[in-house]
Chain A
Amino acid sequence: MQKQECVAMLLAGGEGKRLSHLTTKLAKPAVPFGGKYRIIDFTLSNCSNSGIHTVGVLTQYQPMVLNSYIGIGSSWDLDRKHGGVTVLPPFMEQTGGSWYKGTAHAIYQNIHYLEQYDPEYVLVISGDHVYKMNYALMLEQHKETKADATIAVIEVPIQEASRFGIMDVDKDDRITQFEEKPKQPKNNLASMGIYIFTWDVLKKKLIDDAQDPMSSNDFGKDIIPSMLDSDNPIYAYRFEGYWKDVGTVESLWEAHMDLLLEDPPFTLHDPKWRIYAKNPNKPPHHIASTGKVTGSLVNEGCMVFGKVDHSVLFYGVHVGKGSIIKDSVIMPYAQIGDNVTIHKAIIGSGTVIQDGASVGSPDESAEITLIGENMVISSQLILE
């Protein structure tokens, strides 16, 4: 195998319990996002755009859709003769085997995968966030500071800081303390769950960690604190820009609404940093004479006979005559009949909303209504 300076390990095994029905049959990274993408497209595109072409994708929970979606990585230009994308599920060996017990254990189990490439550095990322980031710049800083680990951090509002892993840093941004979800946060530098490690240092730590029966085998809880204890230099890499965990129904909906702002904090229309996705090959969408679309994102293959305002339509969605869709996210191939009203809802892929049905409430303070995949909702059922 050809040596690779930096190999990315993408943790994509998350169940995403808080996404409720959306993750019944899907791993969280495979959840549709942004009218065209799946959440994992953002990290895979970041890798591709950052020039990191060797990516191990660690899967565990409901991997079928994810496996077939990633394929050989050609959608992200990651089908390479050297490196490329490799899906790494948990496996058995002669001495037994096990599920991935934690994030660090998942990498530990795949040391042999990494060793093939004899890497200098390993980038550890997850497929749970929506953001655009050039990992090459982070790697540059990692080399300059001669760190053993670099953790990407973002400033969060101090009142929300207790939801994150919070870093204390000295004047050079060297991390002095790491606290997972502190009750009394000392500052607002939150870990983004993006790490670059110097491989030989990490490898030793992973082996030690695996032998510790008390460890939860987690980067945030075990590996980073242990490295801090033994005075390994760890630096913070400050990221400015949009970064959103879309792990709950609320945050998934909010992130979609962020895309619809007049001056969006996160734009998909960026030819210099394209987000790649598997292409469903649909014709341009059709807005009928009776249709009206405002403040929305609409993908190819849609047919719109009704009114769509401030919403995101994924590919292949049909919106019937007299229907009104507002503040909603309609996932691929959902079929919305005639005279349907949908307010503040997420409609799962392939779901049919029959003529005259009503979903959600126009009340601004209403909760988000979530309808899972491949459901049939009749007009008899009023969902609010």
Chain B
Amino acid sequence: MNNVLGVINLSINQPLLHELTYSRATATVPFGGRYRLIDFVLSNMVNSGINNVAVLAHNSYRSIIDHLGSGKEWDLDRKHRGLFILPPNNSHAPGFNGDLQNFYGSLEYFDRSNEQYVVVSSSHMICNIDYTDAIENHRRTKADITVIYKEVDEDSEDFANLITLDLADDGRVVRMTENQQTKRSNKVYMRMIIIEKELLMDLVKKSVNQNYYDLVRHVIIRNLNTLKVYSYEYKGYLAIINSVQNYYKYSRELLNPDVWKSLFYQPGLIYTKIKDEPPARYANSAIVTNSQVANGCIIEGTVENSILFRGVRIGKGAVVRNSILMQKCVIEEDSTLDHVILDKEVYVTRGNKLAGEETSPTVFTKKSII
């Protein structure tokens, strides 16, 4: 797969993640007890043998640079190729009009790379996918663009903010619908495409020159009739992290061992920044059921149906239910938490009661003291 370039497009933010993205880019929202959203797409690319990856950073990219560093954890600290973090190049146009602007600003990078194909992906569609097969499919169908989709359960998914596909029998995409109001299709576009590099560069230049700035609308949808846009179905587990509710819902789905195994192990491992935390410590008073616990945690209280990120401390007599506690949260003795999401380093002092609802968990922002 030396012939494929990976591009992680971070200019599509998820405003419905609210508090979780106040201090960080969507791509660095913590997920799954020890990961950031971007870890999944980055690991997928690396596991598919892609060793030249560009991250088109957009806003709050300090958190991205901090997290990715040299790319070492993903084996992308290479002499040639490797990881490139490309912040926006604002000299071409005032203001921000759309993601193509960031592609346009990075044309130099595309130009310098020798790869024939490009996989473009955003970071908020969490999955474990081997792109090798999708690229093979792209070659076989002689497509100009291949879009990757997943058939989701139409009853459980909220289609707001999603793009759905209508396909012809041969897999050709005939229509893409944003925010479908009435049910048309449950084939959700995973914000991943495969395209030849030269074609992508060409389309980016043409679009931007005509003041078109949106990858989906102006490169894909606008060309559905003129280009061969085919589809590739991903059949594995997909978590769509585009709102706080979805974040909560999908985080708790990880408590299903089958989901846990398929998202974290199949077909590849998910890599992240290493923290060198020791194994989690359970005191004699710990009562933990149906939960996911990362290293560095010290648990003296009760934890049910919850996810504890690295270095969380749960005091004696504290009870945590149906909650997500990010890195280094501290819950002092006798506090009770139910249906809450605590961002990093939230400190809950002794004897507090925090509660949200199943349908709308309460979020406490980074470093709050309660």
Contacts and interface: CB of A to CB of B under 8 A. Distances in A.
B282 A283 contact: no
Contacts of A300: 34, 279, 294-295
B271 A281 contact: yes
Contacts of A276: 276
* Main SS at interface, chain B: loop
Interface stretch (B55-63, B135-143, B219-227, B283-291): B283-291
B32 interface: yes
B276 A284 contact: no
B260 interface: yes
Interface residues of A, number: 35
Given A283-B33, A283-B34, A284-B34, A269 B257 contact: no
Nearest to B278: A268
Contacts of B294: 284-285, 300
Interface in A277-294: 277, 279, 281-289, 291-294
A275 B278 contact: yes
Nearest to A315: B279
Interface residues of B, number: 38
Contact of A289 (B271, B289, B293): B289
A307 to B, nearest CB: 11
Contacts of B289: 287-289, 291-292
A121 B185 CA distance: 73
B279 A286 contact: no
**Which residue, of A283, A284, A298, has the highest number of chain B Cβ atoms within 10 A?**
A284
Nearest to B292: A284
Contact of A281 (B32, B257, B269, B296): B269
A297 interface: yes
Contacts of B188: none
Interface string B244-277: 0000000000010100100011000111101010
Nearest to A274: B276
Contacts of B292: 283-287
Contacts of B257: 286, 288, 303
B50 to A, nearest CB: 18
Contacts, number: 107
Nearest to A283: B264
B308 A287 contact: no
Contacts of A287: 288-293
Contact of B278 (A35, A283, A291): A35
Given A274-B276, A281-B269, A284-B308, A297 B33 contact: no
A277 B295 CA distance: 13
Nearest to B294: A284
A269 B308 CA distance: 16
Interface in B294-319: 294-296, 298, 307-309
A312 interface: yes
Nearest to A37: B278
Given A277-B276, A292-B287, A284 B33 contact: yes
Contacts of B32: 283-284
Contacts of B278: 34-36, 268-269, 275, 297
B367 interface: no
B267 to A, nearest CB: 15
B281 interface: yes
Interface in A34-52: 34-36
B277 to A, nearest CB: 8
B271 A297 contact: no
Nearest to B286: A294
A296 B296 CA distance: 13
Contacts of A312: 279
B286 to A, nearest CB: 6
B284 A298 contact: no
A295 interface: yes
Contacts of A284: 32-34, 292-295, 307-309
B279 A293 contact: no
Nearest to B288: A287
Given A36-B278, A284-B34, A285-B293, 7 more contacts: A262-B283, A269-B281, A283-B264, A283-B292, A284-B295, A298-B280, A299-B280
14 contacts: A36-B278, A36-B279, A269-B281, A277-B276, A279-B274, A283-B33, A283-B270, A283-B292, A287-B293, A289-B290, A293-B286, A297-B279, A300-B279, A303-B260
Interface of B: 32-34, 72, 255, 257, 260, 264-265, 269-272, 274, 276, 278-296, 298, 307-309
